Amino acid sequence: MPDMLDIVRDDDGVWTVRLDRAGASVNTFTPQTLDELDAALNRIEGDGAAAGVIFTSAKSGNFASGADLFAMREMDAQAMRRFIDAGQRVLSRVAALAVPTVAAINGDCLGGGLELGLACDWRVSADAGAIRIGLPESKLGILPAWGGTTRLSRTVGLSRALPALLTGRTFTPRQARSAGVVDELVRPEALHAAARRYVRLRPRRHRPGRLDRLAAAVPLLRAWALARALKRTLAKTHGHYPAAARIVEVVRAGLAGGVAVGLAAERDAVLALADTDACRNLMRLFFLRQTARRGGPPRAAEAPQVHEAAVVGGGTMGAGITHALAAAGIAVRLIEVSEQAASAALRRVRRLLDEDVRAGRMSGPEATAAMRRVSPATDWTGLRRVQFAIEAVAERLDVKRDVFERLGALTGPSAVMASNTSSLSIAALGEAAGDARRVVGLHFFNPVNRMPLVEVVRAKQSGEPAVAAAFALALAVGKTPVVVADAPGFVVNRVLIPYLAEAILMAGQGADIATVDEAMRRWGMPMGPFELLDRIGLDVAADIFGRAGGSLAEGATAPAGVEHAVARGWLGVKSGRGFYRYGRRRRVNRALPPLVWKNGQGAFSGDEEAIQRRLMGAMIEAGAQLLAEGVAESADAVDLATVLGLGLAPFRGGLMSYARDIGVWQEGAAAKDRLPVAGESDRRPSPDTRPASEKARTSWSS
Amino acid sequence: MVAFTTDNRRVAIVGGVRTPFARMGTALAEVPMVELARMAMQETLYRSGIGGGRLDEVVLGNVVMPPEAANPARVAAIAAGVPEHIPARTVQRNCASGMESIADAAARIAAGNARLMLVGGAESMSNIPLLFPRDMLGPMARLARAKSAWQRLRALAAFRPRHFRPVVGLTLGLTDPSVDMIMGRTAEVLAHEFDISRDEQDAFALRSHRRATAAVEAGRFAGHMVTVYAGEAFTPVSADVGPRPGQSAEALAKLPTIFDRRDGSVTVGNSCQVTDGAVALLTADGELARAEGLDVLGYVRAYAVAALDPARMGLGPVYAIDRLLAETRLTLADVDLWEINEAFAAQVLACLRAMADDDFARRHLGRHAALGELEGERLNVNGGAIALGHPVGATGARLVLDLLHEMRRRDVRRGVAALCVGGGQGAAILLERS
């Protein structure tokens, strides 16, 4: 009895292979899946009257998510090679079938799932915005090696295949249709009928556009196109992602030498890539993320599903959270101070939904339905039946305390109350609510619709059911939750602030801003510290530094100087001037560093590596410290939080993983006293010698 | 004849809100009727703390059903977050539709067949469609069937300019085909029959505006009003668009008589306004309301509907009130506060005269003596549809909601809301606070 699929033949000779991995909610491929597919192909090939084959899935919302990475993790090099070979062989058999073959894509179709689809003659997909279709292997530092790299470029052409393969981005069905990855979109209920129509009518197979065919046929043109793509990718990845170059190479081999040559190249490439640090780090993060989503506090799985929630405050964060909840099918009572504010909040939510519609994530009617789930109120009514309330008002303790006082009085006895604060004490808010057991932190990042991380803050008094409910809610809105303790800055801001403070200090010592930013981008940050400061807004940054200064950026007086820039109206991107001047071209604002750092001596002279070591050193130091204090449960949690919350170079494997790799930190120890950094002597003008716990308390009481 | 009491089981009204009422083409013109109903329903459920999943049914009054939402009650209920397994029904008794939804719930609850029902009424008169004339159908059908260019050209040639002159759906809806009279003409009939002068009508209209304006200023509606965020800009609308603080007798006197230009007395100034708005109310079994500590605004005691000559439909309230009082063995004096919907000033004044007339009572109501005098101090104390407007499907529910709040404010026991119904009917409902 097969465990991975079932297979039926109807009276017309059409075979349907339905992927259906036993005991799982999604289909992933193991060696056993391949064996069963092999056996199914034997039966089909032995059927002289076979009219065609339809591949589909019995899982709701999932066609197949590719190879089972948990199974692959256990494989040695030998087993891995056998697995790759078996996959290539089975999918080549599918491609070689004499009868018509159709993939009927009823849900997510990723990696090996799409490689199976590409081995078929045609692909039809259900027209549902939630479905993701793509080859995300490069995000794991590898490439599609069951013929996907080769077949995708031969099916849709160089110009469309390369970006998809290099970025690993996934498509909605509509995007996949216009890229030529799927042949047709149909209503979900008609999927099987449509697949049968393809078997019956055998329309022409999809071919790349004329330019792409030309590029594939003319070696010189092909070489030029590939070289250009490679150059662009390298400029973006700084060579940190070895998969990129290999993908270009394999595409070249497949287009020039045919499918067999392409497959051989895929296999060699994937085995080589699997042995790189980048791949190991990316895979590890993938598992961390999976485990974080599956694990969580003991009772997260039992937490009752939230149907009705309240959000207090509809500013950027509040509207973002409201949007996330409404899009996930949760009704939101949105509390605002005035009708004008409520109106603005509704407009913000509507804009985010419009974005979803434009991106194909939602249909127009789905967006309208989501909008209708948002019920604004300016009088604090309607909170009695909500199961979960999230506060997202101005970052001021008195304002937030007032909100929690009201929430405590107005919500039902089992409702959870969460604060989206990034810097205030959850314990203080719990006290205001009157029932601290029901109060937790739920720290979303800006912009909420793009940032995958949520810090679930467990204060000392937080009850386990509340923590579990917060964790479950974060999952329900599609985020990855990381549980942290109620300490200033939690994890992400705790490591970010000293990093930014150090950068400002460095600028005060004469380091060139553009050079520092470039160095950190080359290290693998999505943007440099000054670009980030300008983006955050210097007023916001000044506020954060002011609040967190003493405890986080230990003894750093430089950040306090940001206020001088704010006083001049230099707020960063939003005011057109910050560390940079934003015009048609961006230029460094040379007038700023002397303002922030009045004692700047022009003492800094270090190369790129010195900059990277010093800034990352500040971050690692904070990471080690917070781990020692138990703010995060593990170094893994810090890794996950820094990658998802800061965009910290995923190929580095996260902050602590990087620290371990370069030998400055190990599990159970504080950071090595200090990283060997340039300009050490200038670094800390007035070291604060009080014990960390005491410092924390002082700044905390504000 | 329809009349029933709820003596065997108490029917409580435990909450409700209305949207602002806004004159056609103004603040709420962009908001479809289903959206107005959705917001009123959603807000009512939130404020009451009752989850939609506990409802037995949703019943909504609506007169001109939007073409894009057959059974708008169902569409609005789902949009309001009422779970899909809760049924919903739209009721239509023309101008009494909103009140009919309450009576409907009362009858079901009194019979022990339901415990919680969400009811109300909604109308977007701004969104009543324009129609193409019927004789356009022929050429349209031929065009749709045409295959060749020549056929298409011939089909196009069959169109005439008159085919493109739209028929105003609103006018059609306000015209009673049984007697071929637009509603304003029926008011003219009563004005002549009861000898009601233009001055009397204008004075009544002025009083309506003054009372409504005073009620708005005193915030008497604000507590049970939900702000509508209208259109793409989500513009907040939180006040009625209708009552005119600066309304003067002189201005009213200048208006032309539109239904009978030469001998008439009915003007737009002494008629109700054409308006958009929605109302939702939560009705509950009295026992359940008490056990759960719900905030009971009042109880539905009795309901009556009577029918009469369509050309004199404005007298409907007299017949319905007669039935209601007979059924409950009460007199005019037993009821503290009254609402008679102001379709037309002439029509309300005619009702008052008929009620006070022994001869009318003998000939039409089978009573020996008149129902009695209904003084102005007890009638429409916060103004009426002349100032606030008459979104036909919603008004019956608004009268009940506003009346219950006024009864609470004045701490009085009984109230009656009644309205005349296009087509020749009248409806009346008796509410009690204890």
pLDDT at A684 over 70: no
The pLDDT value recorded for residue B155 is 86
Per DSSP, the three-state class of A232 is helix
B233: closest chain A residue by CA: A347
Q: List pLDDT tens digits, range A391-405.
A: 999 988 999 999 999
Task: Tell me the chain B residues in contact with residue A365 when contact means C-beta distances shorter than 8 Å.
Answer: none
Number of H helices and number of E strands within chain A? 29, 19
The pLDDT value recorded for residue A219 is 87
The pLDDT value recorded for residue A690 is 36
The pLDDT value recorded for residue A672 is 54
Which residue of A333, A340, A369 is in closest CB contact with B236? Answer: A340
Which residue of B43, B47, B234 is in closest CB contact with A343? Answer: B234
- Min Cα distance B345 → chain A (Å) is 36
Tokens of A597: 């750092």
Q: List pLDDT tens digits, range A171-185.
A: 999 999 999 999 999
Chain B residues 38-77 within an 8 A CB cutoff of chain A: 38-39, 42-43, 46-47, 49-51
Pairing of strands A122-126, A184-186: parallel
Mean pLDDT of chain A: 89
Of A463, A380, A388, which is closest to residue A420 (Cα–Cα)? Answer: A388
Out of A91-95, A296-300, A379-383, A473-477, least confident range: A296-300
Q: Would you call B92 an interface residue with chain A, using a CB distance cutoff of 8 Å?
A: no
B35: closest chain A residue by CA: A372
Whether residue A342 and residue B229 make contact (CB cut-off 8 A), yes or no, is: yes
pLDDT at A192 over 90: yes
> Residues A224-250: what's their mean pLDDT?
86
Q: Which of A206, A323, A443, A564 is catalytic?
A: A443
The pLDDT value recorded for residue A694 is 38
pLDDT at A552 over 70: no
Q: List pLDDT tens digits, range B278-292.
A: 999 999 999 999 999
Which residue of B38, B81, B229 is in closest CB contact with A376? Answer: B229
CA dihedral over B388, B393, B394, B398, signed as positive or negative = positive
The full set of domains in chain A, from first to last, is 5-275 (3.90.226.10), 306-485 (3.40.50.720), 492-700 (1.10.1040.50)
**CA angle A43-A47-A49, nearest 5°?**
150
Q: Sorting pLDDT into bands at 50, 70 and 90, what band is A625? A: very high
The pLDDT value recorded for residue B8 is 84
Check if the beta carbon of residue A504 is closer than 8 Å to that of residue A597.
Answer: yes
Task: Tell me the chain B residues in contact with residue A376 when contact means C-beta distances shorter than 8 Å.
Answer: 227, 229
Of A337, A335, A431, A428, which is closest to residue A390 (Cα–Cα)? Answer: A335
Which residue of B39, B49, B232 is in closest CB contact with A385? Answer: B49
Quick one: CATH architecture of B2-126+273-432?
Answer: 3-Layer(aba) Sandwich (3.40)
- Min Cα distance A338 → chain B (Å) is 10
The pLDDT value recorded for residue B173 is 82
Task: Tell me the chain A residues in contact with residue B80 when contact means C-beta distances shorter than 8 Å.
Answer: 372
Question: Which parts of chain B sit beneath pLDDT 70?
Answer: 1
The pLDDT value recorded for residue A80 is 93
Per DSSP, the three-state class of A339 is helix
Q: What DSSP string describes B363-428? A: III--SS------GGGBSTT--HHHH---HHHHHHHHHHHHHHHHHHHT-SEEEEEEEETTTEEEE
Looking at the DSSP bridge assignments, the partners of residue A503 are: none
Which residues 6+ apart lie within 8 Å of B87 measured at CB?
Answer: B57, B58, B74
> Residues A668-693: what's their mean pLDDT?
45
C-alpha neighbours within 13 Å on the C-beta side of residue A449: 20
pTM (2 decimals)?
A: 0.90
The pLDDT value recorded for residue A671 is 58
pLDDT at A600 over 80: no
Of A671, A664, A675, A658, which is closest to residue A240 (Cα–Cα)? Answer: A658
A443 is annotated as an active-site residue: yes
Q: List pLDDT tens digits, range A100-148.
A: 999 999 999 999 999 999 999 999 999 988 899 999 999 999 999 999 9
What is the spatial distance between Cα B44 and Cα A213, in angstroms, rounded to a whole number? 62
- Min Cα distance B228 → chain A (Å) is 9
Which residues 6+ apart lie within 8 Å of A74 measured at CB?
Answer: none
pLDDT at A670 over 80: no
> Residues A509-514: what's their mean pLDDT?
88
